[in-house]
Chain A
Amino acid sequence: MVNLTIDGRAVQTKKGQTILEACDDLGIFVPRLCYHPALKPIGACRICVVEVKPGPPRPLPACATYVAEGQEVVTASPKLDVIRLELMKLVLINHALECPVCDKGGECELQDLTHAIGVPEVDLAAVKLPPNQDYESQLVERHPDRCVTCGRCIHICRDRVGAMAINFTLRGYFTELTSGAVPLDCEFCGSCIDICPVGALINKQFKYRSRAWEVTKTEMACPFCGGGCTYELHVKDGKVMRVFNGGDKVVLCGRGRFGWPVVEAPDRLKTPLIRQDGQLQEATWDEALDLVAAKFRQITEAAGLGAIYGVGSPRATNEANYLFQKFFRQGLGTNNLDNPGRYTYIRALQGLAAVFGPAQVSGVELDPSRPPAFTSPYPVTDDAKGKGFPFVLGKIDDLPKADVVLVVGADVTPELPPLGWALLEARERDAFKLIVANNRRTKFDRYADLSMRCQPGTERLLVAGIIKALLAAEVTPAIRASGVEEFKESLKKLTLKDVAKKTGVEEAAIKAAADLLAQALAPAIIFGAELLAQDKGQENALALADLFLLVGKPGAPGSALYPVAEKNNTRGVCEVGVLPDFGPGFAPVDKPGAALPEVLALLEKGDAAAPQSLYLLGGDLLRFAPNHKQVEKALKKVPFIVVQDAFLTETAKLAHVVLPVAVHAEQEGTFISSDGTLGYLPRALSANGVKPDCLIIHEIASRMGYSIPTGGPANIFKDLAKAMPLWAGLAPKGSEPRADFGKDLSGQLVPFDLDVSLPGRRPLTLLVGKSLQHSGSFTTHHPCGALTVTPRAELGMNPDDAQGLGLTEGDAAKVTSSQGEISVPITLNPDLPPGLVFLPEHFADPAANALTLNSNLVRVTISKG
């Protein structure tokens, strides 16, 4: 603590704070314009000047001066008032006084400051500058004539988002914000809009729609990726006006900030649909639910309780998924259910579980007092100990504390934007080292200390090479590790030379990576859904788990594994037990059911053991599962399919009953993000005739005579959290931080498959991955903001490859694989190495999975056409 005097008051503040932060903590108001808690001090406006003794004989900016022992600070004096008033006059000298039409009016920091300082009039004059408004850019509108040149937007874009898309041009009074060229070409995250103290940067979705004070604000979890961000939803007259993220952390990604209009998409389903005479016809809720219950009863009576197969949803809330598994386990009494994470995230969990063992929690006991809503009834005590794979998964907030981060097979920002922001924060420390191993150049290669470019699909071999180098250097694991000898044996035949040849990464780079990891005090590993979606995704996770066992220091904060859970509740749907082999909290079940890919294979074969009915909670199987043809064939053979979805998806088109569901802001519930934090989703809009998932499941269950808990999501959560000691200490993000478990980790090195060959002889490799603006297929419905920036699927291709094929930007290309053929326009992308082409997975037409077999990598031929 530091002792100092502020305005004659003896105070104690934390060491390393600035005077402004200390004043804020103490409730002393110091006027400021450019300072923002999300950023490092900028020191551009000088309005926060204070007098400091001992110090130079002039006022110092409070935002950039650190507290020191024995300091005497004066925050208000006639001298300071004169300085602030003069500075304000200079800021206001030619400010476009468009407050009546400026969307910032009412929440404008310049308005507030003008009132706080009491600027009577501006008695200065300067030449008028041209307004230079930018109306052309997508989603963002720029008004340089309203700019106060505080520099916040530039700093957030450079330091927090890492896009570096905007900067100042010219000097002094003529300083102007510019993107280099109109229109903006950036990540379109919109963080600059919310951090702008004035209306110089405007959200086009919000433009002129409402005044700042007219909206009702609801803080909620973002429903797109697994990042677990929270934001404010602003609603006026039952309509969403915008997504806003003020407060200490302003950064959001484009899908979070501009993706909300999916709620208003005109193609949303409004009434249940029933298939009659081969056509889906509108029906009432009672008709549809009665039909589902009757059919389900009929099928179970004829073919047994296991004849219904359930697929949970990584988009639906924990409560809905929990009820869903309860419907199957307690109602029907089968374990025939799974979730779409099977193709990605579950592989990571399986790989980690093989190395670090199953989830075990000890020393937590039910709290007899009633916890607040949506809070775990298990408090974390000192003797709480966690064992097994969930405890090597890291928290995004801790990632900046890691000193070496290895990114494998992940274009971090599109996969999980918050991971990218955490990496940028980590980068601010000098000791931080970043290793990036990808098959193409990604955003983070620019920040990497060691950048390795491997052949597509050879990431596992590269990891094996790093492990080999580590073993050669005789690294001792920080955690108890067994099976070392056996493991060494399995890698005996592998030589670094071989690895270098097959992966295309130089031997020296592999050794350098191993060295960095071996010396790290808190190494972390990030791997994406891109790596997990490969045919041998589980082996990839296994290899990385082995690597982490060798070098990881789980005692050090930030040192952990960060697999990407791609959707908002991918981790939650697994944790609440929508799995054939595990119940809530990863409790093993007696008679495991079949996994989703096995069931699809059985259905396709027309096997007698195949289920007679599918109950799909969201989850557009036809869109996300690889091998479109097989899935389509399989689904067409199912006698009765029930789909709960907000849209008439490809899968829903094959269903017999479609039940429209409420989406994020229309229902209450919780999500578990990629890093295990609980996101709370309050209800902010009316559901307009559609029903939340929980209610639909409950109604079907009660029509079938099963009693499952009801009474709203809060009640279901209570029931759910009781079954989950794993969630001990869990509370919605933003409330008290979750106390950490004591970790009792040990592991076993498990040999993994070293074969990384990609079958087929076609000349190019297609990678099906994620686009920056989209999240699953959820964001591909008009008028979603994501479609403004990325309206269609384009095949990314190296310019040299394109030239060789005689293709130029925008040309239609015919892409053929062993599975099928699609036609798609191409875009030239020098980030892709020759031989690799990239297609985003989100769009229905052309469907990327029409080309893939069982992996997101496939060999293809491309021709003009």
Chain B
Amino acid sequence: MIMPFLKGLATTLRMVFTKPITQQYPEERREMYPRWRGHPELTIDPDGRRRCVACTLCLVVCPSNAIKGIVPAEGPEHEKYPAAFVIDLQRCIFCGLCQEACPQAAIKLNNLYELAQYDKSLLILEIDRATQKESKLRTPDWL
């Protein structure tokens, strides 16, 4: 009769003295693995310039039309760059085809995964918000 009770108590007591496995989200956030497919973002080169050359291959390959509004432009050294670029996180299915199609490694899925917003428009990233920034949530090795 008492044995099951003691067994349960033992389990409880054991757990009291072990490290908890739950994470205190949002105070604590989970580190994603480097190959995690999070939000797509435009990468920058060591000089801080976008790698994207507005070839639109990502737009072509995107199965859910999450990438749109790429406006190509010509730079002072005849380079091609995007003057506008829109990533719609509402439509993104995080399949990663864009980063596979990109010939310049200019679009990558990062390790961000949060999509909850009070304002939908915040999920539509225009070029500046879609560009990679320093962030402690982004591990240095994901690229």
Is the pair B78, A99 in contact by a Cβ cutoff of 8 Å?
no
Rounded to whole Å, the gap between the CB of B86 and the closest CB of chain A is: 14
Any A CB within 8 A of the CB of B122: no
Interface-located stretch among B8-16, B55-63, B127-135: B55-63
Other-chain residue from B60, B80, B103 in contact with A208 (beta carbon distance below 8 A): B80
Any B CB within 8 A of the CB of A211: yes
Task: State the CA gap A55–B104 with chains docked (Å).
Answer: 49
User: Contacts A101-B80, A133-B78 hold; do A209 and B72 have CB atoms under 8 A apart?
Assistant: yes
Task: State the CA gap A214–B55 with chains docked (Å).
Answer: 11
Could you say which residues of chain A place their CB within 8 Å of the CB of B72?
208-210
Task: State the CA gap A133–B77 with chains docked (Å).
Answer: 12
Q: Which residues of A in the span 779-800 have a Cβ within 8 Å of any Cβ on B?
A: none
Rounded to whole Å, the gap between the CB of A381 and the closest CB of chain B is: 52
**Closest chain B residue, CB of each to CB of A143:** B78
Q: Which residues of B in the span 40-85 have a Cβ within 8 Å of any Cβ on A?
A: 53-57, 60, 72-74, 78-80
User: Contacts A133-B78, A208-B72, A208-B73 hold; do A100 and B55 have CB atoms under 8 A apart?
Assistant: yes
Any B CB within 8 A of the CB of A105: yes
The winner among B53, B54, B60, B72 for most chain A CB atoms within 10 A is: B72
Other-chain residue from B55, B60, B74, B104 in contact with A207 (beta carbon distance below 8 A): B74
Task: State the CA gap A214–B72 with chains docked (Å).
Answer: 13
Could you say which residues of chain B place their CB within 8 Å of the CB of A105?
55
Q: What number of A residues sit within 8 Å (CB to CB) of B?
A: 13
Task: State the CA gap A489–B75 with chains docked (Å).
Answer: 74
Other-chain residue from B56, B78, B79 in contact with A211 (beta carbon distance below 8 A): B56
Task: State the CA gap A214–B80 with chains docked (Å).
Answer: 17
Per-residue CB contact flags for chain A residues 141-152 toward chain B (1 = under 8 Å, else 0) read: 000000000000
The winner among B54, B73, B80 for most chain A CB atoms within 10 A is: B80
**Closest chain A residue, CB of each to CB of B55:** A100
Task: State the CA gap A105–B57 with chains docked (Å).
Answer: 11
Is the pair B55, A101 in contact by a Cβ cutoff of 8 Å?
yes
Could you say which residues of chain B place their CB within 8 Å of the CB of A211?
55-56
Task: State the CA gap A325–B5 with chains docked (Å).
Answer: 107
Any B CB within 8 A of the CB of A174: no
Task: State the CA gap A209–B73 with chains docked (Å).
Answer: 7
**Closest chain B residue, CB of each to CB of A214:** B56
Rounded to whole Å, the gap between the CB of A259 and the closest CB of chain B is: 22
Q: How many A-B residue pairs have CB under 8 A?
A: 28
Could you say which residues of chain A place their CB within 8 Å of the CB of B57?
100
Could you say which residues of chain A place their CB within 8 Å of the CB of B78?
133, 135
Rounded to whole Å, the gap between the CB of A2 and the closest CB of chain B is: 45
User: Contacts A100-B104, A135-B78 hold; do A213 and B60 have CB atoms under 8 A apart?
Assistant: yes
Task: State the CA gap A100–B72 with chains docked (Å).
Answer: 12
Could you say which residues of chain A place their CB within 8 Å of the CB of B60?
213
Q: Which residues of A in the span 569-607 have a Cβ within 8 Å of any Cβ on B?
A: none
Could you say which residues of chain A place their CB within 8 Å of the CB of B74?
207-208
Is the pair A101, B53 in contact by a Cβ cutoff of 8 Å?
yes
Task: State the CA gap A101–B57 with chains docked (Å).
Answer: 11
Rounded to whole Å, the gap between the CB of B16 and the closest CB of chain A is: 59
Provide the main secondary structure of the chain B interface: loop
Per-residue CB contact flags for chain A residues 741-780 toward chain B (1 = under 8 Å, else 0) read: 0000000000000000000000000000000000000000
Rounded to whole Å, the gap between the CB of A371 and the closest CB of chain B is: 41
Q: Which residues of A in the span 199-239 have a Cβ within 8 Å of any Cβ on B?
A: 207-211, 213-214
Task: State the CA gap A208–B60 with chains docked (Å).
Answer: 16
**Closest chain A residue, CB of each to CB of B60:** A213
Could you say which residues of chain A place their CB within 8 Å of the CB of B73?
208
The winner among A100, A105, A207, A214 for most chain B CB atoms within 10 A is: A100
Per-residue CB contact flags for chain B residues 10-25 toward chain A (1 = under 8 Å, else 0) read: 0000000000000000
Task: State the CA gap A137–B111 with chains docked (Å).
Answer: 47
Q: Which residues of A in the span 339-382 have a Cβ within 8 Å of any Cβ on B?
A: none
Could you say which residues of chain B place their CB within 8 Å of the CB of A100?
53, 55, 57, 80, 103-104
Q: Which residues of A in the span 101-123 have a Cβ within 8 Å of any Cβ on B?
A: 101, 105
Per-residue CB contact flags for chain A residues 377-420 toward chain B (1 = under 8 Å, else 0) read: 00000000000000000000000000000000000000000000
Task: State the CA gap A211–B56 with chains docked (Å).
Answer: 8
**Closest chain B residue, CB of each to CB of A213:** B60
Per-residue CB contact flags for chain A residues 806-847 toward chain B (1 = under 8 Å, else 0) read: 000000000000000000000000000000000000000000
**Closest chain A residue, CB of each to CB of B83:** A208
The winner among A101, A105, A211 for most chain B CB atoms within 10 A is: A101
Rounded to whole Å, the gap between the CB of B61 and the closest CB of chain A is: 12
Could you say which residues of chain B place their CB within 8 Å of the CB of A214?
56
Task: State the CA gap A105–B103 with chains docked (Å).
Answer: 13
Task: State the CA gap A105–B80 with chains docked (Å).
Answer: 14
Task: State the CA gap A211–B58 with chains docked (Å).
Answer: 13
Could you say which residues of chain B place their CB within 8 Å of the CB of A99?
55, 103
Could you say which residues of chain B place their CB within 8 Å of the CB of A207?
74
Task: State the CA gap A832–B88 with chains docked (Å).
Answer: 63
**Closest chain B residue, CB of each to CB of A133:** B78
Rounded to whole Å, the gap between the CB of B106 and the closest CB of chain A is: 9
Task: State the CA gap A211–B57 with chains docked (Å).
Answer: 10
Task: State the CA gap A100–B82 with chains docked (Å).
Answer: 12
User: Contacts A99-B103, A135-B78 hold; do A208 and B54 have CB atoms under 8 A apart?
Assistant: yes
Task: State the CA gap A151–B36 with chains docked (Å).
Answer: 50
Could you say which residues of chain B place their CB within 8 Å of the CB of A133?
78
Could you say which residues of chain B place their CB within 8 Å of the CB of A101?
53-55, 79-80
Task: State the CA gap A135–B60 with chains docked (Å).
Answer: 29
Rounded to whole Å, the gap between the CB of A241 and the closest CB of chain B is: 11
Could you say which residues of chain B place their CB within 8 Å of the CB of A210?
72
Could you say which residues of chain A place their CB within 8 Å of the CB of B79?
101
Q: Which residues of B in the span 77-119 have a Cβ within 8 Å of any Cβ on A?
A: 78-80, 103-104
Task: State the CA gap A213–B74 with chains docked (Å).
Answer: 20
Task: State the CA gap A210–B57 with chains docked (Å).
Answer: 12
**Closest chain A residue, CB of each to CB of B102:** A100
**Closest chain A residue, CB of each to CB of B80:** A101
Rounded to whole Å, the gap between the CB of A214 and the closest CB of chain B is: 7
Task: State the CA gap A110–B101 with chains docked (Å).
Answer: 20
Rounded to whole Å, the gap between the CB of A224 and the closest CB of chain B is: 28
Per-residue CB contact flags for chain A residues 87-108 toward chain B (1 = under 8 Å, else 0) read: 0000000000001110001000
Could you say which residues of chain B place their CB within 8 Å of the CB of A213?
60
Task: State the CA gap A214–B74 with chains docked (Å).
Answer: 18
Task: State the CA gap A771–B60 with chains docked (Å).
Answer: 43
Rounded to whole Å, the gap between the CB of A96 and the closest CB of chain B is: 13
Task: State the CA gap A213–B59 with chains docked (Å).
Answer: 12
**Closest chain A residue, CB of each to CB of B78:** A135
Rounded to whole Å, the gap between the CB of B57 and the closest CB of chain A is: 7
**Closest chain B residue, CB of each to CB of A209:** B72
Rounded to whole Å, the gap between the CB of B81 and the closest CB of chain A is: 9
Rounded to whole Å, the gap between the CB of A102 and the closest CB of chain B is: 9
Rounded to whole Å, the gap between the CB of A580 and the closest CB of chain B is: 53
Rounded to whole Å, the gap between the CB of A90 and the closest CB of chain B is: 24
Rounded to whole Å, the gap between the CB of A207 and the closest CB of chain B is: 7
Rounded to whole Å, the gap between the CB of A180 and the closest CB of chain B is: 23
Could you say which residues of chain A place their CB within 8 Å of the CB of B80?
100-101, 208
Task: State the CA gap A214–B54 with chains docked (Å).
Answer: 13
Task: State the CA gap A585–B116 with chains docked (Å).
Answer: 72
Rounded to whole Å, the gap between the CB of B79 and the closest CB of chain A is: 8
Rounded to whole Å, the gap between the CB of A115 and the closest CB of chain B is: 15
Task: State the CA gap A105–B56 with chains docked (Å).
Answer: 11
**Closest chain A residue, CB of each to CB of B75:** A208
Task: State the CA gap A209–B56 with chains docked (Å).
Answer: 11
A residues within 8 Å of B by Cβ?
99-101, 105, 133, 135, 207-211, 213-214
20 new A-B contacts, CB < 8 A, other than A207-B74, A208-B73, A208-B74, are A99-B103, A100-B53, A100-B55, A100-B57, A100-B80, A100-B103, A100-B104, A101-B53, A101-B54, A101-B55, A101-B79, A105-B55, A208-B54, A208-B72, A208-B80, A209-B72, A210-B72, A211-B55, A211-B56, A214-B56
Contacts A/B (CB < 8 Å), 12 sampled: A99-B55, A100-B53, A100-B103, A101-B53, A101-B54, A101-B55, A101-B79, A105-B55, A207-B74, A208-B54, A208-B74, A210-B72
Closest 4 CB pairs of A and B: A100-B55, A101-B80, A208-B72, A100-B103
